Structure 1
Amino acid sequence: MIDVLVIGGGNAALCAALMAREAGASVMLLESAPREWRGGNSMHVRNLRCMHDAPQDVLVDAYPEEEFWQDLLKVTGGQTDEALARLVIRHSAGCRDWMRRHGVRFQPSLAGTLHLSRTNAFFMGGGKALVNAYYRSAEALGVQVRYRSPVASLELDGPRFRAAVLESGERIQARSCVLACGGFESNREWLREAWGRNERGEWPADNFLIRGTRFNQGTLLRFMQGAGADIIGDPSQSHCVAIDARAPLYDGGIVTRVDCVSLGVVLNREGQRFYDEGEDFWPKRYAIWGRLVAQQPGQVGFCIIDSKAVGRFMPPVFPGVKTDSLDALARALGLPEAAVLRTMADYNAACRGTDFDHTVLDGCHTEGLAPAKSHWARTIDKPPFYGYALRPGVTFTYLGLKTDASAAVHFGGQPSDNLFAAGEIMAGNVLGKGYTAGVGMSIGTAFGRIAGARAAGAALGKTTHADLA
């Protein structure tokens, strides 16, 4: 019998498998995707948010625990478990040496990734390189990896794990189990159920694009709901980003994100602005814009900039629609010309301040305009003009399994002694809503390593003291 069964194939699952194997357990990892699509959403990531009290290799200055916590508290609006959040934050300070031992390499922040050189460590080669490094290390250590192995259900004895049953009907027993198989963002029917119809009679979820893997159907999350596991989170909350409307339905990844929002204005299909584009630094606000667009008519938005913004943001994979006048841009985007010109004239007339500086919360703002633009408000009047049609791009959902600091899954308030969870399937314990760049990887790395060590201990009948620094 296998000691530890890990269900999932992304960062959290791999961290769990590596930790369990290092602790002396035999480990099998089940990845639902074929080998060429392995890694779940992790193959699209770029960086890890890291606490540090002084400059560290690729990180500059300092990013202390309290600042990290306040950033997380702000974006979640307090919908977070502080004890678990601080556990993640503290873990992020020391995990990189362990990651390096398994082949992960880091590099300084990329040009155009505003404000992240202090807070986030970037992976050399991105998420695909990280995933490949972990798989190479896992296989070298003797972890059994099986692809195209989706799990349909679990056999449980109360809160105790007994076996996993694959969609093929195969039954796999193990002494303990780690669930690291993601959320339900690729399950369109569940997204429809979560979002329902809006006041316009639309099904918003029908217009969502999925930034990551098509394999996160939420099968085991739904099973665990029915099995009596404690659930946390709002099914409509997710990491949801405004991405280019031309992006593919699945796996568009980070290059489909449109990062010029704070440098311009965003209109709905009626030609109206609907939110403060300059509320805060982009890494702290980019993940609210998918939900904002989802709440607009037709679940579509349009970001408009002029030539002054070019070169100040990471260019997306698709070029913007380019014209020499705002009225021509409105027509090219299919927007009501008169409404767009009126909105843009009102915005330009309201801009105040001459100290534009996109690297700080500058004094360029609007006056007498609703909604206001709090920072980086410059007139949009220098051709050529550029427009990007936007759709909601869901990365991962926040509904998940309730866990504690040991990563144990809870049933009726009591932790299981051999069933653990890590990554997106439990991220809602820390992320009730909102997001800040790189924190998903912080959660997955911390809880993946904890879950792997605890699962090994449960399987081997001993308390593990694996180094989680």
Structure 2
Amino acid sequence: MASTTEAHSLSFDCIVVGSGSAGSCAALSASDSGCKRVLIIDKCPPEWVGGNGYFTAGAHRTVHQGLQDLLPIVTNVTPELASNIDLEPYTKDDFTKDVIRLQVENGVHPKSDMHLVEALVDNSRDAIQWLADRVKMPFTFAFNRQAYLIEGRQVFWGGMALSVADGGKGVIHAHQKALAEAGIQVWFNTEAIQLLMENGAISGVLARRNGNDIRLSAPAVILACGGFEASPDLRSKWLGDEWAHAKVRGSPYNTGDGISLATSVGAALAGDFKHCHSTCWDADAPNDAGNRTLSNQYTKSGYPLGLMLNVKGKRFVDEGEDFRNFTYAKFGREILKQPSSVAFQIYDQQTVKWLRVEEYGDDVVKKVWADTLEELVEKLLPDEEASVEDRKEFLKTIKSYNEAVLAFRSENPTKVWDPAIKDGLSTKSFSHSIIPPKSNWALPIIESPFLAVKVTCGITFTFGGLSVEPETAAILCTVGEPIKGLFCTGELVGGLFYLNYPGGSGLTAGCVFGRKAGREAAKLSTARALSIHLSDSA
């Protein structure tokens, strides 16, 4: 390896580490704010561009004033369709409460840095507009994910409405096009191996590109290279040994580099290192990286419409606790805790038609069908890796669930099943209740043929990261002061989410803090240019 002094040197106004959505937002923001030479580096090859953003559904959560507020930025709504959409406003108070309420577990009170939460919420709508205007992000209404067709009307639920055409693939394509038009270079196969400092401030990055060390000079470096979710060793260290076996949903290159780079120059850690974003994931998906073709289609988020049983034949979560986008990030870890770290989702003909085709299509997931529940459990037995170990308990659990559903219905005959609201159709009857209950959308599993799908835990991103100043996205050192010239965005922002998070917040947060980091980087670039000018004039 060449020494730092021997390495070839190049100069830039801003260097961004990471080619995902957050890093792209930061680079564009820096360029628009005055940085003339912006460079993105990423250790992945070009075919893996985009980080974890590529593997998302493209969902963006934002404050908005209702249908008329968002209609101008979406691309998939005709005037006729618009007249049949029900979309209530989503206020700052709504967004804030959704972040906070999901953190309460076993009496534990919220721990999020409320200044970070406020920055996310307050800037969310402006960030979305910037993405639409500056990046030309092809926003769509997520009819297939966040709305149900009820009596001829598209009824949105869960506080979120926006997605992107072609999901995460569309997100990254839009960013790559905008970066190219802005003249921003992207170097792949280029790993940041050391942050360089002079006089207590960042002065650049020592990078390794195609086996050669290159000294990249810049007054500002923005870290946007993801969390540690793709490192089995770091997952075991911080999340627990069982997490070494979780399936990686996205990029295999998010291995904690940003944390190690920043802490080597005195950065402070922040946030929840015990929990992460995970989800119900196809048990047959690849282990160590996402699939670039199917990407988010391996998600199996239909569980509010059915039941989830482990291999012992027992339920282990309240499938109807809340809307899917408020529970999937924590239910993944609940599956991981189960024997063999798998579970079976069970549906009958009342709800099969409501399952999303992109997740449950015949060409996406292995399905097990049967005309009776007894036949279904028999078909689940032969799997040598993870099968139902107690068929009697499996059938007993569903029988008891069905009895509880019917008992509740007899006591509450006016309750109507409605997947677009928390309908209160539950198992909590006076005469027959079960633990855990199903609090909403409880229909008996009685109409054949029955469907079973095997799922496991897919890890998306980690919550623990770096301590960040909310207004500037500057990384803070262990004594609470900003490290001059060092910023971060995306998954690396620590302290924003604990235990759980509202779906669609991640991409929005990456944009919010990426834009802040880019603007601050430009200020440093301008100050350096002025200093050089004054020095040359002296």
Q: TM (normalized to structure 2)?
A: 0.81
Match of 2:70 among 53, 57, 61: 57
Q: Paired residue for 2:521? A: 455
Q: CA deviation at 1:462?
A: 8.3
Is the 1:211–1:394 Cα contact (8 Å) retained in structure 2?
yes
Alignment of 1:305-320 (within 5 A): 305-315=347-357, 316=359, 317-320=364-367
Query: After the TM superposition, which of the residue ranges 23-32 and 351-360 deviates more from structure 2?
Result: 351-360
1:343-388 deviation digits (Å, cap 9, x = unpaired) = 1111111112351111111131113211111111111111111111
Q: Paired residue for 1:384? A: 449
Q: CA deviation at 1:116?
A: 4.9
In 2: Cα distance, 1:158 partner to 1:213 partner = 35
Match of 1:324 among 371, 376, 380: 371
Q: Paired residue for 1:431? A: 497
List alignment gaps of at least 5 residues for structure 1.
197-202, 464-469
Q: Paired residue for 1:111? A: 144
In 2: Cα distance, 1:117 partner to 1:364 partner = 17
Alignment of 1:245-324 (within 5 A): 245-249=283-287, 250-252=289-291, 253-315=295-357, 316=359, 317-324=364-371
In 2: Cα distance, 1:117 partner to 1:431 partner = 18
Alignment of 1:32-431 (within 5 A): 32-45=43-56, 46-55=58-67, 56-58=69-71, 60-77=87-104, 78-100=110-132, 101-114=134-147, 115-116=156-157, 119-157=160-198, 160-167=201-208, 168=211, 169-196=213-240, 203-249=241-287, 250-252=289-291, 253-315=295-357, 316=359, 317-333=364-380, 334-335=387-388, 336-351=390-405, 352-353=408-409, 354-367=415-428, 368-405=433-470, 406-411=472-477, 412-426=479-493, 428-431=494-497
In 1: Cα distance, 2:501 partner to 2:488 partner = 20
Aligned length: 456
In 2: Cα distance, 1:125 partner to 1:244 partner = 20
Q: CA deviation at 1:54?
A: 3.7
Q: CA deviation at 1:157?
A: 4.7
1:162-191 deviation digits (Å, cap 9, x = unpaired) = 221224432212111100110011111111
Alignment of 1:4-43 (within 5 A): 4-25=14-35, 26-43=37-54
Q: Partner letter of residue 32 of structure 2? A: E
1:195-246 deviation digits (Å, cap 9, x = unpaired) = 33xxxxxx42242111111111112312333432110123231110011101
Q: Partner letter of residue 69 of structure 1? A: T
**What is the root-mean-square deviation of aligned Cα atoms in Å?**
1.9
In 2: Cα distance, 1:357 partner to 1:364 partner = 9
Q: Partner letter of residue 41 of structure 2? A: L
Q: Partner letter of residue 350 of structure 1? A: A
Is the 1:16–1:178 Cα contact (8 Å) retained in structure 2?
yes
The 3 A distance-change label for structure 1 pair 403 and 206 is: closer
In 1: Cα distance, 2:233 partner to 2:511 partner = 30
1:56-108 deviation digits (Å, cap 9, x = unpaired) = 23483311100111111111332311121121112111223321222211112
In 2: Cα distance, 1:112 partner to 1:422 partner = 27
Q: Partner letter of residue 42 of structure 1? A: G
Is the 1:29–1:146 Cα contact (8 Å) retained in structure 2?
yes
In 2: Cα distance, 1:118 partner to 1:397 partner = 23
Q: Partner letter of residue 336 of structure 2? A: A
Q: Partner letter of residue 394 of structure 2? A: V
What secondary structure is seen at the aligned counterpart in 2 of 1:308?
Answer: coil
**Max Rg structure:** 2
In 2: Cα distance, 1:118 partner to 1:431 partner = 18
Is the 1:153–1:220 Cα contact (8 Å) retained in structure 2?
no
Is the 2:370–2:450 Cα contact (8 Å) retained in structure 1?
yes
In 1: Cα distance, 2:91 partner to 2:356 partner = 27
Q: Partner letter of residue 376 of structure 2? A: L
Is the 1:350–1:369 Cα contact (8 Å) retained in structure 2?
yes
Is the 2:226–2:258 Cα contact (8 Å) retained in structure 1?
no
Q: Give aligned-pair identity as a percent.
A: 29
Is the 2:158–2:325 Cα contact (8 Å) retained in structure 1?
no
Q: Partner letter of residue 481 of structure 2? A: Q
List alignment gaps of at least 5 residues for structure 2.
1-10, 75-86, 105-109, 148-155, 381-386, 410-414, 530-538
Is the 1:27–1:143 Cα contact (8 Å) retained in structure 2?
yes
